[in-house]
Amino acid sequence: MFADMVERAKNDGARSQTLSRGIQVLEVLAAADRPRTIDELAAELGVHRSIVYRIVRTLEDHRLVARDSAGRCAPGAGLAVLAHGVSRDLQSVAVPELAAVAADLRMTCFVVVHDHGECITLASVEPRRAAGTVAEHPGTRHPLEQGAPGVALLTLLGTEGMGADVVERVAQARQQGYATSHDEVIPGLSSVAVPIASRAPTCAAVAVVYVSSDRSPEDVAERLQAAANAIGAQIG
């Protein structure tokens, strides 16, 4: 079947060109320091915006590209699925680090990714033998501008088109290297999050959520940064 697909691609220049342009779109988005508009992608590829729009819609259907409310494009969470078996998968790499952080801080630790303009939990680990732990279920979603994990992702994605309060908050998170929140996504809970720096296409962050702690946010962030560095080094 795959051989037949390859043969058809060889005999069909239009399809081959479309595939090539789709890959170029993904490459541009992976290398970009912020989400790109359709017009910007068209300029990068040197083609009409209608062509890029159709390509982006197809990639979006397969969750390889995510668009925010303003229509700007960024790498989608589906790219992590494609990367499985080629490079170490984010989830499989993250879980041991999450478990170590959960044990050290006695807090629920989780990794989030950017998906369709939202922050989505990819994997989480709760501490063992700890009273009053908070569950953070994989698949949980919330707006990027709410909660420390979303703000940490915005330090990587950029804040174009967002309100002044969000821009200021993200700038502060960039300056101190971590984001904090309290009583935002879930009433009564606090969170600290650190972005994961890597060359991988998926935009991700590692975070903890807790009711209360005698540790300072700085101490928590320092431990999260060590985990983020270890994860980033393994995923590329």
Residue 232 to residues 52, 180, 228: CA-CA distances in angstroms? 31, 21, 6
Say what the pTM is: 0.64
- Three-class DSSP category at 172: helix
**Domain 83-235 CATH superfamily:** GAF domain (3.30.450.40)
What integer pLDDT is reported at residue 152 of this predicted model?
A: 96
Check whether domain 2-75 has CATH 1.10.10.10, yes or no: yes
Per residue of the chain (236 residues), what is the pLDDT tens digit? 434 444 554 455 445 688 889 889 988 887 777 889 999 999 989 999 999 999 999 998 888 998 888 889 988 877 765 654 434 578 888 999 999 999 999 999 999 998 878 898 888 999 887 555 677 778 888 889 999 999 999 999 988 888 999 999 999 999 999 999 999 888 889 999 999 988 766 789 999 999 888 899 999 999 999 999 999 988 86
What integer pLDDT is reported at residue 156 of this predicted model?
A: 92
- CB-based burial of residue 52 (10 Å sphere; 0-12 exposed, 13-18 middle, 19+ buried)? buried
Q: Which two tokens stand for residue 3?
A: 């051989």
What integer pLDDT is reported at residue 234 of this predicted model?
A: 86
The DSSP code for 127 is P
Name the residue among 114, 115, 140, 135 with its Cα closest to residue 125.
Answer: 135
HSE-up of residue 90 (Cα within 13 Å, Cβ side): 29
Domains 2-75 and 83-235 are alike in CATH topology:
no
- Three-state secondary structure of 74-95: EECCHHHHHHECCECCHHHHHH
Phi, psi at 43, each rounded to 5°? -65, -40
Q: Return the domain boundaries, the chain.
A: 2-75, 83-235
